[in-house]
Structure 1
Amino acid sequence: MTGTSPLQWLLTQRIRRAQELLETARDGVDAIARAAGRGTAATLRRHFNRTVGVPADAYRRTFRARSWT
């Protein structure tokens, strides 16, 4: 129905959750990785960069300025 495998759908949902948390939460990347189901910060960073096309810290800097000011 979604045109993707269940595993790929799950990975996409986890990255979307990480994006939301990077934009809004003040938690560290380790805590965000656990909350998004990625386990470790290293795993989150690798998958985030591969999926979104930018490093997680760069993504956070870009969107944090908009939502935390």
Structure 2
Amino acid sequence: MPVTSADGAGPVLSHMLERLEEPHPIGDLARRAVMSSRTFARRFVAETGTTPHQWLTEQRVIRAPELLEESDLPVGQVATRSGFGRAALLRHHFQACTGISATAYRSQHRAPAMTGA
């Protein structure tokens, strides 16, 4: 997690990380930070270098490989648990961020106990 000021985005980032599977509208995040939506968005970018939406997408992509490696969950359930909601969104963002499909990633990085070896 990026370094943030104590009264800045840090608590909101923690909240988002603990609840990746939930939607996080900017208005809700701003209220949590006790700021207007516009001020929150501006401070978020200043502290993290990216927008709340992009940051959340990146965190969801980081979570997805853990689920792909450690479980037999279908891609649709991995999408739900990592916060994408739909398999198509997971596939799109995962491929864009990693350069490999979620299914190919799972095949290449599967834990030995999961493959029956």
TM-score between the two structures when normalised by the length of structure 2: 0.54
Identity percentage of aligned residues? 46
The runs of at least 4 consecutive aligned structure 1 residues that moved more than 4 Å come to none
| Structure 2 runs not aligned, ≥5 long | 1-46
Alignment-derived partner of residue 68 in structure 2: 22
| Structure 1 runs not aligned, ≥5 long | none
Distance apart, 1:50 and its partner CA: 0.7
Larger relative contact order, structure 1 or 2 (CA cutoff 8 Å, min sep 6) = 1
Question: Does 2:19 match 1:12?
Answer: no
User: Quick check: which has more Rg, 1 or 2?
Assistant: 2
Structure-2 change in CA distance of 1:52 and 1:67 (3 Å): farther
TM-align CA RMSD:
1.4
Alignment-derived partner of residue 37 in structure 1: 83
Partner SS, residue 48 of structure 2: coil
Partner SS, residue 39 of structure 1: coil
